[in-house]
Amino acid sequence: MTPADPDRSPSGDWGSTPSRGQGVSAARTGESLSVEPVARKSRLRIALKAGARAGSVAAVMGLVVSIFEQAVVQIWAAGRIHPSITERIGGAALGASFFGMAAWIAGSLGFLVAFGRGVERATKVKVVCATAAISIVALFHAFALALRLMLGSSLTVSGVQFFLNSAGHMMSAISSQYIGYVLMLLAGAIVLSGLVAMTVRRVSRAPITVRRVEVYSSFGMTTLAVVAIAAPLPSSITRGAAKTSPEVALIASVGASRRSERFTGETFGVLTGAALDSPKITARAEWSANATEIERRPNVIIVTLETVGANHVGFLGYKRDATPNLDRIAADSLVFERAYSTATHSNYAQMSVISSLFPRRGSALDMYQRLDYPRVLLHDLMSPLGYQTATVSSQDESWQGMQRFQTTATPTYFRHAPDHEGERLDMVTEEIAPDEETIKHAIQWIDRAAGGGSEAREPFSLYVNLQSTHFPYPIPSEAPHPYEPYTPKGTFNYVVWERDDLPTIINRYDNALRYVDAQVGRLYDALAERDLLHDTILIVTADHGENFFDHDMVTHGRSLFEEEARVPFIVHYPAWLDARHVEEPVSTLDVLPTIVDLLGLDPHPGLQGESVAWLGLPGAERSAAVFMNIQGWKHYDGIVCMPYKLVFDPDTDESALYDLVADPHENNDIAKRRPEVVVALETVLLAQIDAQERYHADDEEGRLFRGDRFAPLMLPCPEPAELDPP
């Protein structure tokens, strides 16, 4: 006969009560016991079995919560993530596992810590710890569900960072539109935690016997949860789990590459290698030596407008007369009709304009914490050429780490919103300087730098950032408001608007646009008055556009559709450039390379864009594809090779394809009809992303790349034959 297991009850159950030196009968009556010394291994075993009951109860409730979440998302949430039945079942199992694991581990630890003070006290501590763990997991799921309902976005590191750095906008949306839902979610989390507490407490008062199945199920749940988070699962499995499990979605967004494992063939490898074969950093010395022989040194000004899409400026077809000054500047300039921003959120898009560096560096939002790669910003480029340099901005450049990115070894004059001592305008997440004050200060700096136009002074380069066209479109009260009414009556926050208020909201935006346009006109006229206009390269562009219920979205940072991605791009340099319109796609990466070209210099090896100064003339063409991305609320990567735009979603490993000529409003996804085009464009896009991620990786290979070479080259579009209609 096999000796009896000292931890097993006569009924065949596993007792969670200590059996060595602690009579089982006393434990079953709930008496407070004076626990005699027990071996450490036995204590841990007893505690794990004591927590198994809490884990089993929590798993059942976790299963209910996961099913509820998936039902709510299916009915109400926006977005393109549509899980399969298998993925839904897997998500429910993972939800149960995470709830059960949290309760089991927390309950066991609580029981173990209080073990020396008797079973009754240990049991109470176990209930408190398990309940706290379940409350945390439930609140985590509530936050993830709220994010999906508000933005159609999975819970990712980038999403959390954006939420925290846009807390003003988010709290405004929550308080005005979602407070009821939030209270319901919080109430649900509290009720769930209470149910767990009462249930665990009740079963803990019963005879303390933990069935073998509860121990095994707790171990199995924990194993499943840990494997889902930590194991090197194939990316396709991880993506499937991330669709329905917020825990997996969050962990999957940290650190690892998100590119599809499909693209590992010879062509993909050749393209990645070609992108990584960028100029060596030592090439900068040769470029600088040649640049000393520069013959012409015009002044350089870059003006970046916040949230101004190509579809809202008159010279590109907007019917309302909201941009009269931009229109008159464009009439005497090189105008790119199809210019694309590198991203549709400011922290990426603006930094690309002044650095010509593509912002896609890792799998999550880059907040410029690690800046160990070579970068050449506008002031770095111009100062060694003998230019005085400055940045004058209406925004708080510290948002999302942008000021860190702009701070280099090159001294330069820098002024942004926190330096403005007068009244500021409320943009919810920050207070901005009035654009009229920014332009006033920029003109004063020009007067100091140019000495009233004296040729004895050094030339200057200036970066100006104007902000009033960002939501909620604030302008000074005394500024003209030609379009009325402009005060929405219903819900109006960064996330949600009332459709009935759309005409009013557009009036509000166009008032802000008219105000910003007037400031650009003031700068232009100041240059003319000082006889600086003819010999100044003036470039006006924007960081991204805005949605006004386009594709059922509002504001920006949501997509790579044309309304958000296309921006104005004007190059005014009458001394060298004739006025003309160019239809070929270009990127805001091309701003700095175009300036270098207009200075008569060779391409700088540290810039990823290329000069577009001569596009539209015989024999001139752009060699690289146009790339875009988002790493904020959403995560998309995009490529434009006319007539197509492809948008890749790394969460689903799927692409959308649009014919921009036949379908300029992108209403018809033709990816399934043109699979050969999808494959051709995906291969180029993901090879570029792979090169970017490998170059910027925080590993030995990445450090070697960054220490030896500039950022990857931008790849060309596929051969025309691969994109031609069948």
List, for residues 568-611, the tens digit of each pLDDT value.
999 999 999 999 999 999 999 999 999 999 999 999 999 999 99
Any domain includes 285 = no
Any domain includes 446 = yes
Count of domains for the chain: 2
> What pLDDT shows up at residue 154?
72
The whole-angstrom separation of Cα 399 and Cα 345 is 12
Taking residues 275-294, what's their average pLDDT?
92
> What pLDDT shows up at residue 659?
97
pLDDT band at 400 (very low <50, low <70, confident <90, very high): confident
SS3 at position 629: strand
Least confident of 170-179, 541-550, 655-664: 170-179
List pLDDT tens digits, range 487-520: 999 989 888 899 999 999 999 999 999 999 999 9
Say yes or no: 539 and 611 in one domain: yes
Least confident of 406-410, 433-437, 453-457: 453-457
Any domain includes 67 = yes
For residues 436 and 519, is the Cβ–Cβ distance under 8 A? yes
> What pLDDT shows up at residue 231?
54
Question: At residue 6, does pLDDT exceed 50?
Answer: no
Whichever domain contains 522, its CATH number is: 3.40.720.10
Any domain includes 720 = no
Sequence-separated (6 or more) residues with CB below 8 Å from residue 256: 363
CA angle 60, 61, 63 (to 5 degrees): 65
Question: Is the pLDDT higher at 197 or at 485?
Answer: 485
Least confident of 76-85, 132-141, 267-276, 313-322: 76-85
- Other beta carbons less than 10 A from residue 478's beta carbon: 7
Domain of 491 in residue numbering reads as 299-624
Question: Is the pLDDT higher at 523 or at 46?
Answer: 523
Domain boundary among 207, 227, 249: 249
Question: At residue 3, does pLDDT exceed 50?
Answer: no
Domain boundary among 190, 217, 249: 249
Top-confidence range, 62-71, 284-293, 314-323: 314-323
Question: At residue 545, does pLDDT exceed 50?
Answer: yes
SS3 at position 582: strand
Distances in whole angstroms, Cα of residue 13 to Cα of each of 22, 211, 667, 672, 682: 17, 5, 62, 57, 57
Say yes or no: 188 and 317 in one domain: no
> What pLDDT shows up at residue 226?
65
> What pLDDT shows up at residue 144?
82
Say yes or no: 459 and 537 in one domain: yes
> What pLDDT shows up at residue 21?
39
Question: At residue 402, does pLDDT exceed 90?
Answer: yes
List pLDDT tens digits, range 205-226: 544 455 565 665 666 666 666 6
Question: At residue 530, does pLDDT exceed 80?
Answer: yes
Question: At residue 124, does pLDDT exceed 90?
Answer: no
The whole-angstrom separation of Cα 535 and Cα 528 is 10
Say yes or no: 215 and 333 in one domain: no
| Strand duo 388-393 + 460-466: pairing | parallel
Any domain includes 686 = no
The whole-angstrom separation of Cα 281 and Cα 261 is 31
Distances in whole angstroms, Cα of residue 522 to Cα of each of 424, 441, 665: 20, 12, 34
Say yes or no: 586 and 522 in one domain: yes
Domain boundary among 624, 653, 670: 624
Say yes or no: 19 and 113 in one domain: yes
> What pLDDT shows up at residue 420?
95
Taking residues 8-28, what's their average pLDDT?
39
List pLDDT tens digits, range 364-385: 888 899 999 999 999 999 999 9
SS3 at position 20: coil
Taking residues 240-262, what's their average pLDDT?
66
Question: At residue 311, does pLDDT exceed 60?
Answer: yes
Q: What's the pTM?
A: 0.82
Say yes or no: 105 and 217 in one domain: yes
> What pLDDT shows up at residue 263?
60
Partners of 210 in the β-ladder = 14
> What pLDDT shows up at residue 634?
82
Instruction: Determine the angle formed by the axes of helices 119-151 and 179-205, rounding to 10 degrees.
Output: 160
Sequence-separated (6 or more) residues with CB below 8 Å from residue 603: 593, 596, 597, 610, 611
Question: At residue 158, does pLDDT exceed 80?
Answer: no
The whole-angstrom separation of Cα 221 and Cα 313 is 57
- Other beta carbons less than 10 A from residue 32's beta carbon: 12
Least confident of 250-259, 344-353, 436-445, 710-719: 250-259
The whole-angstrom separation of Cα 142 and Cα 240 is 20
Say yes or no: 396 and 535 in one domain: yes
Question: At residue 204, does pLDDT exceed 70?
Answer: no
The whole-angstrom separation of Cα 163 and Cα 427 is 15
Helices (H), 114-234: 119-151, 157-165, 167-173, 179-205, 212-230
pLDDT band at 36 (very low <50, low <70, confident <90, very high): very low
> What pLDDT shows up at residue 15?
40
Say yes or no: 213 and 339 in one domain: no
Supply the DSSP string of 436-454, one letter for each residue: HHHHHHHHHHHHHHHGGG-
**Average pLDDT score, the chain:** 84
Question: At residue 164, does pLDDT exceed 80?
Answer: no
φ, ψ dihedrals at 529, nearest 5°: -65, -30
pLDDT band at 261 (very low <50, low <70, confident <90, very high): low
Question: Is the pLDDT higher at 726 or at 321?
Answer: 321
Any domain includes 215 = yes
Question: At residue 168, does pLDDT exceed 70?
Answer: no
pLDDT band at 234 (very low <50, low <70, confident <90, very high): low
Any domain includes 708 = no
> What pLDDT shows up at residue 26?
38
pLDDT band at 632 (very low <50, low <70, confident <90, very high): confident
Any domain includes 209 = yes
The whole-angstrom separation of Cα 343 and Cα 365 is 12
Say yes or no: 130 and 242 in one domain: yes
List pLDDT tens digits, range 676-690: 999 999 999 999 999
Say yes or no: 311 and 214 in one domain: no
Say yes or no: 39 and 110 in one domain: yes
Distances in whole angstroms, Cα of residue 520 to Cα of each of 166, 212, 253, 323, 474: 28, 75, 40, 10, 17
Distances in whole angstroms, Cα of residue 264 to Cα of each of 270, 464, 542, 648, 687: 10, 43, 36, 17, 9
